[in-house]
Amino acid sequence: MPSRLRRADPQTSALDLRASDETIRIALRRVTGAKRFTLRVRSATRDVILTMPHRASIASAREFAERHVAWIGARIRRLPQPVRFEPGAVFPLRGEPHVIVHRPEARGYIWIERADAGPASICVAGAREHLARRIGDYLRREAQGDIKAAVRTHAEKIEVSIRSISVRDTTSRWGSCSVAGALNFSWRLIMAPAYVLDYLAAHEVAHRIHLDHSPKFWALAHHLAPETDRAESWLKAHGAELHRYGASEPAS
């Protein structure tokens, strides 16, 4: 079930600050009802958001940001480094590390080879310039298949209907459920261990009965996914890291 957001001004400006040898761009978000300035460094999108009262001035926003520029810089430096989908890169698939191997002369599309030791190889045929897109498409298809299967299993257990299931690259939540029964998930769940994906599917299916996070909802979620607590702990510890994989190729 999507969380409620405060109404924000659709116009968002930005300001640039110098920190050591780099320039930090900070997006300014005016929010109706906000009573103070707040800063957030988002690991999923690797950006900085300064939320400010609707009537506050840009000058006061800059002053606030400048007082916290050291904190902003430190948080940015602690963000996990992006990993592009390119030959030799390692990323998790269903919780297990896989290394990308380019096989330009091979026939086929994408396949997995497992070794006696070390990570499995995810092999990609075709031209180098298509490799990143093919990996991304493959992961989305795998995610959609696993998520649909898990949703179907949990929905049958409690006899609820699902209007639709979509898989996207969401950054604010791993899954959501609308009042009408439309479920939405992040494709990046395919990189997490299987029990994490299964829990998220159960979580959103449980919202078909309880559109809240009440004790009854959590009891149902635990009934559907006994590893709910383990999955929640994994997401808190490692979830943000999933957004580092698949960064865009550098401009040539």
- Domain extent listing, the chain: 13-77, 90-247
Q: State how far the Cα of 105 lies from the Cα of 48, in Å rounded to an integer.
A: 43
Residues 187 and 136: beta-carbon distance below 8 Å: no
Residues 5 and 28: beta-carbon distance below 8 Å: no
Q: State how far the Cα of 130 lies from the Cα of 144, in Å rounded to an integer.
A: 21
To the nearest 10 degrees (0 to 180), the angle between helices 69-77 and 58-67 is 60
Residues 93 and 190: beta-carbon distance below 8 Å: yes
Look at the block and give the residue holding tokens 């769940």: 189
Q: Which element (helix H / strand E) includes 201?
A: helix 194-206
- The tokens of 153 are what? 């299993």
Beta-strand relationship, 38-42 and 22-31:
unpaired
The tens-digit pLDDT sequence of the chain (252 residues) is 433 333 444 445 888 888 777 788 899 999 888 899 999 888 777 789 999 998 899 999 999 999 998 888 888 888 888 899 999 999 999 999 999 999 999 988 999 999 888 899 999 999 999 999 999 999 999 999 999 999 999 999 999 999 999 999 988 899 999 999 999 999 999 999 999 999 999 999 999 999 999 999 999 999 999 999 999 999 999 998 999 999 654 333
CATH pick for 90-247 out of 3.30.420.40, 3.40.50.1820, 3.30.2010.10, 3.30.420.10:
3.30.2010.10
How high is the pLDDT of residue 136?
96
